[in-house]
Amino acid sequence: MKSLSSFHPGAIWPDNNGVHINAHSAGLLFHEGRYYWFGEHKIEGKAGNRAEVGVHVYSSDDLLNWTDEGIALAVSEDPESDIVRGCIIERPKVIYNAKTRKFVMWFHLELKDLGYQAARAGVAVSDTATGPYTFVRSFRPNAGVWPQNLPAEERDADSIAKAKVSVGTKTNDPTGTLTPLAIHLAQHEGGQMARDMTVFVDDDGKAYHLYTSEMNATLHISQLTDDYQDHAGIYVRAFPGRFMEAPAICKRGGRYWFIASDCTGWDPNPARAAVADAILGPWTELGNPCVGVNPENGLGPEKTFGGQSTYILPVEGKKDAYIALFDIWRPENAIDGRYVWLPMRFTETGFEIEWRSEWSL
Ligand code: GAL
């Protein structure tokens, strides 16, 4: 394989075998001098929107040339397993725990044949970056735990009972008849819904799980336990009613910077940005960070160049170099989904992500 010397957003991205990289809704990990790219392995056709294989991992030392390291987390053949072939595994992200020396993978899990009703978080662990990872469990986070920023007067049994009646067995609210708070209260005892997600390790070693909850209406930001394998019981509701999906986050200059999408399934929509001085908020929205047009599809900021956010990668050893990662979905032929990596340009008050058809670090 001829080696690549620049990024080509939206193009076929060949790995060391000349095969288009198969790691969608990427999560990146930098460990001992090497980058690892985890993502959904997709197969051809619409079937590729379900997990038929598992989570694929690649490694690289320059972010351009990637070596296929195989399947990090394989789907199970056991029909009793939460991750049986045919379930949905989305947005896998891996973080390294220095205390336990384990690599911990978090992902969004939908149980087989239930569409997007289960709304669970999944955890898997490994002693090595590339795996194989062992599935630990899946669950709805923070059962019985109140968010830090929910006022005491909203935390009563009466409101829970009323919310449970209005929400019933619903797992989606396309017509918007329920309030995010009612959805939240109805899930209080059983655990909060968890769909689109990312994980983030802060400078002090504390890790956080950011997940789209409350039928996608509200983002939850939840601290993880010291071993990164569970929730620590400290979390907040952020952006209630804003339907933030595809969350991505980084820290720069002591502040937290956030990218997300609106909620329109595989179809692109305008990107969102936000900033906070503390990861648990309060968060301030900044508006759409995208600038320019992707000439390949004619789409600009109103459609995030045809993509949807998935991760923000700080480039090691390069001051102020942050890359925003997006997916261009191809739900009719999932394996043909494309990757858009673009540099973030920070300004006094925010950041911009400008389209480039070719660029290098
Ligand atoms: C998107 C979400 C993807 C996937 C898709 C399914 O909104 O970001 O991760 O769940 O919906 O339609």
User: Which of 135, 104, 127 minimizes the C-alpha distance to 226?
Assistant: 104
Q: State the distance from the centre of ligand 1 to the C-alpha of 153, rounded, in angstroms.
A: 34
pLDDT, averaged across the chain: 97
**Is this structure's pTM higher than 0.85?**
yes
Q: What is the average pLDDT across 31-37? A: 98
- What is the CA(118)–ligand 1 centre distance, in A? 14
Q: Which one, of 247, 232, 238, lies nearest residue 214 by Cα?
A: 238
Pocket test for ligand 1, best of 50, 211, 308, 310 (most atoms within 8 A of CB): 308
So what's the pLDDT on residue 348? 84
What is the percent of the chain with per-residue pLDDT over 70, rounded to a whole number? 100
Q: 292 C-alpha to center of ligand 1: Å?
A: 24
pLDDT digits (tens, 9 = 90+) for 269-279: 999 999 999 99
Residues 316-349: pLDDT tens digits? 999 999 999 999 999 999 999 999 999 999 998 8
Contact 121, 60 (CB under 8 A): no
The pLDDT assigned to 1 comes to: 62
User: Which pLDDT score is estimated for 230?
Assistant: 98
CA–centroid distance, 290 to ligand 1, in Å, is: 20
Residues paired with residue 97 on neighbouring β-strands, in sequence order: 102
Residue nearest to atom 11 of ligand 1 (CA): 265
Q: Is the pLDDT of residue 124 over 80?
A: yes
Nearest C-alpha to atom 7 of ligand 1 is from which residue? 265
Pocket around ligand 1 at a 6 A CB cut-off: 25, 90-91, 196, 245-246, 263, 265-266, 308
Position 147 scores a pLDDT of: 98
Closest CA to ligand 1's atom 4:
265
Output the CA–CA distances (angstroms, integers) from residue 167 to 172, 198, 211, in the order listed.
10, 27, 20
pLDDT surpasses 80 at 125: yes
Beta strand 308-314 with 322-328: parallel, antiparallel or unpaired?
antiparallel
Tokens of 245: 């999906």
pLDDT grade for 257, boundaries at 50, 70 and 90 = very high
**How buried is residue 176: exposed, middle or buried, by Cβ count under 10 Å (0-12/13-18/19+)?**
exposed
| Best probe residue, ligand 1, of 196, 263, 332 (max atoms within 8 Å of C-beta) | 196
Q: How confident is the model at residue 176 (pLDDT cuts 50, 70, 90)?
A: confident
Which residue's CA lies nearest to atom 12 of ligand 1?
265
Pocket test for ligand 1, best of 42, 46, 50, 90 (most atoms within 8 A of CB): 90
Whose C-alpha lies nearest to ligand 1, atom 8?
246
The pLDDT, as a whole number, for residue 309 is 98
Determine the distance separating the centroid of ligand 1 and the alpha carbon of 206, expressed in angstroms: 27
Shortest-distance Cα residue to atom 5 of ligand 1: 265
**Distance from Cα 174 to the centre of ligand 1, integer Å:** 14
CA of 329 to the centre of ligand 1 (A): 9
Task: Tell me, letter by letter, the H, E, C secondary structure of the chain.
Answer: CCCCCCECCCCCCECCCCCECCCEEEEEEEECCEEEEEEECCCCCHHHHCCCCEEEEEEECCCCCCEEEEEEEECECCCCCCCECCCEEEEEEEEEECCCCEEEEEEEEECCCCCCCCCEEEEEEECCCCCCCEEEEEECCCCCCCCCCCCHHHCCHHHHHHHHHHHCCCCCCCCCCCCHHHHHHHHCCCCCCCCCEEEEECCCCCEEEEEEECCCCEEEEEEECCCCCCEEEEEEEECCCCCCEEEEEEEECCEEEEEEECCCCCCCCCCEEEEECCCCCCEEECCCCEECCECCCCECHHHHHHCEEEEEEECCCCCCCEEEEEEECCHHHHHHCEEEEEEEEECCCCEEEECCCCECC
